[in-house]
Structures are given as structure tokens and as C-alpha cells.
Amino acid sequence: MISTYASALSAASDAAADQNYPPGALYVVATPIGNLADITLRALHVLGLVDAIACEDTRHTQALLRAYGIDKSASQLLAVHQHNEAQAAQTVIERLRQGQRVAYASDAGTPAISDPGARLVAAVRQAHLAVVPLPGASSVTAALSVAGIADEGAQQSGFVFVGFLSSKSTERAAAIESLRLEGRAVVILEAPHRIEALATALATLGARLVTIGRELTKQFEEIATVSAESFPAWLAQDGNRLRGEFVVVLHPAQAETQAGPDTRVLKLLLAQLPLKTAVKLAADITGEPRNALYELALSLKED
């Protein structure tokens, strides 16, 4: 396995060695979410360069380093996970104050998004020490990139990342209901043992589209776009679909779904204000495009 990435390590040195890597800095390193070849050249160089690596799981990170042919002793790996992050951050800070370079890597993907790392970064920043991001693999952006949302007439640009919803059915249902009128894409993460419960909860959104990313970048990767109401049936079609990690992109609510609340707001404003002023305030309140609200306001005035 080491020889497989020998040329990559050489390329990493050629491409990244001449860049600036200040001492006393925390390097937040994105690692692959499945396919080892998704590591960046700069990440390979920095993982080899740093004096220590803080990791969500030292055993996992050690195996990853060995796969790339990077040699780090056990004493250079520091356990920093969700259960000890606040306390372990002080150990990292002490090393940084000594002028050491320290990397942080979660088990997969970009740290501090859904994985641990945010508390560590906050503590380092509060200590007025440098934090350097090394971007790379992310299940969130990977799923969004294949969801094909641009042509759906979304009412708002961007997306909402909610991560893992509550494991409690009532709280999960309430969270999904709050997303019913969301005009942006919504990214949800889920584990295999809870994916059926999530699919059942999302089915209440009817024809709303969802893109399902299962085992992204891995050998048995599967990507599909179905209606929310058919999500449970899609899972049931193949027992293998209950395996692996999931990223679910809930597509934006369509304009007609959102018309009720927006019409109510616009009507209230039109009753008290001139048309243009009412449209401007309605756009600020609802986030709807001003042109669409203007056309709606004209229609309401005619009625």
C-alpha cells in the first residue's frame, strides 16, 4: 500500500513544499470520506510535516497515515474527540505555544462541520493562535454537487445544513415539518440504522424531491433522486440500501408550496402601505424574489 502513494508523496512535496507553513499553527485537514485517492497534495505534505496530529480516532488516523506511507509515532497522535475536545484543546494549545505545528483530522471529511473540531478551533482562536484550513473532501458538497437543483426554480439560493436530526421521532417529525416551506436545499446526514425512520418522516413531504447519496466515493456508492413519499419504497427495493452512511439532500420547496404564507404577508402589507414599499418589505421578511412578489402584488391589487 505504501508504494501505491509513493509518487503522490513526491508530487505533494514538489507542489506544496515551497509554500509557507508557519510554526505554532493549527492545520485543519480534510481527509477522504471513503476513497483514499481523494486526499489533496497539500494535505499529504502537511500531515508529514507537522509535529503532531490531533485526531478524532488515533487508530483510524494511524491506519490512514500508513496507507499513504506517512510515518508518525504513537506519541505524535493526540486523541481529540467529542467527549474530551474542550480539555484536549489545552494540550494542543500548549504544543502550539511551544512553536509546534499541529494538524487536526477527523475520521472522514472536513473537520468541525458535523465531526468534532469546532471547539478545538474556537479554543485555539481564543488563545490568539493561528488556524490554517486545508480544504478537501466533504460529504455535504459532494451530495449537493450531484443533486442537480439549479433548474428547479428554487426561490432562494444557497443551502441549509442541518446534519443529523434527532433520534426521537417526535422531535425529528417537528424538525422536518419546519423544513416544509424551506426555499433552499437542505442537507441531512443519517446513519444506516436510522435511515428507514428518516425516510418515513420525510415521506410526509409528498412530491418534494430528495437526492439520496449512499456510501459516497466508496465502491458501492449509490445516488438517486426520488420523491419524498417514495423514499421508503426506494429503500425497501434492495436490502443493501440499508447499509452505509447517508447524505440526503431535500430539494427546495417549490413556489406554489410557499404561496400561502407569502400571500398572507403581502396582503397585510398592501393594506397599509404603497405597493412598492409593501413588496420591498415582503421580500425582506420572506426572502422571496422581489420580482415575483411584485407580480403577485399587482394580481392582488387587480382582485
Higher pLDDT, 94 or 289: 94
* C-alpha cell of residue 252: 427546495
Distances (CA, A) of 160 to 156, 201, 213, 286: 11, 18, 17, 16
DSSP conformational letter for 153: -
Please identify which residue in the block is written with the cell numbers 499541529: 102
pLDDT at 215: 97
Sheet strand arrangement including 222-227: 159-164, 185-190, 246-250, 209-214, 222-227
The C-alpha cell of 93 is what? 494549545
What is the model's pLDDT at position 2?
A: 46
With 0-12 CB in 10 A as exposed, 13-18 as middle and 19+ as buried, what is 87? exposed
SS3 state at 154? coil
Signed CA dihedral, 157, 163, 164, 166: sign only:
negative
**Residues 202-258: tens digit of each pLDDT:** 999 999 999 999 999 999 999 999 999 999 999 999 999 999 999 999 999 876 544
Report pLDDT for 224: 97
Note the pLDDT tens digit of each residue in 110-137. 999 988 999 999 999 999 999 999 999 9
| Average pLDDT value for the chain | 91
Cell of 33: 470520506
Share of the chain above pLDDT 70, in %: 94
pLDDT at residue 232 in the model: 97
- Report CA-CA distances (Å) from 9 to 3, 94, 177: 10, 29, 48
For domain 3-137, the question of CATH label 3.40.1010.10 is answered with yes
pTM, 2 dp: 0.80
Contact 187, 212 (CB under 8 A): no
pLDDT score of 287 more than 60 = yes
The sign of the torsion formed by the CA atoms of 90, 110, 189, 140 equals positive
Residue that the C-alpha cell 509518487 belongs to? 7
Question: What's the mean pLDDT in 135-160?
Answer: 85
Question: What DSSP string runs through 7-61?
Answer: HHHHHHHHHHTTS---SSEEEEE-B-SS-GGG--HHHHHHHHH-SEEEES-HHHH
Rounded-to-integer distance, Cα 215 and Cα 220, Å: 6
Rounded to the nearest angstrom, the gap between the alpha carbon of residue 103 and the centroid of all alpha carbons in its chain is: 20
Q: What is the pLDDT at residue 295? A: 82
pLDDT at 1 over 80: no
pLDDT exceeds 80 at position 290: yes
* Predicted pLDDT of residue 218: 96
Q: Residue 75: pLDDT band by 50, 70, 90 thresholds?
A: very high
- Output DSSP code: residue 228: G
Higher pLDDT, 206 or 281: 206
Average pLDDT for 8-30: 97
Per residue in 83-102, pLDDT (tens digit) is 999 899 999 999 999 999 99
pLDDT value, residue 155: 56
Pairing, β 185-190 against β 222-227: unpaired
| CATH 3.40.50.9100 holds for 140-250 | no
Q: Label the pairing between strands 77-79 and 102-105.
A: unpaired
How many other CB atoms are found less than 10 A from the CB of residue 38? Answer: 17
Which pLDDT score is estimated for 9?
Answer: 95
Residues in the chain: 303
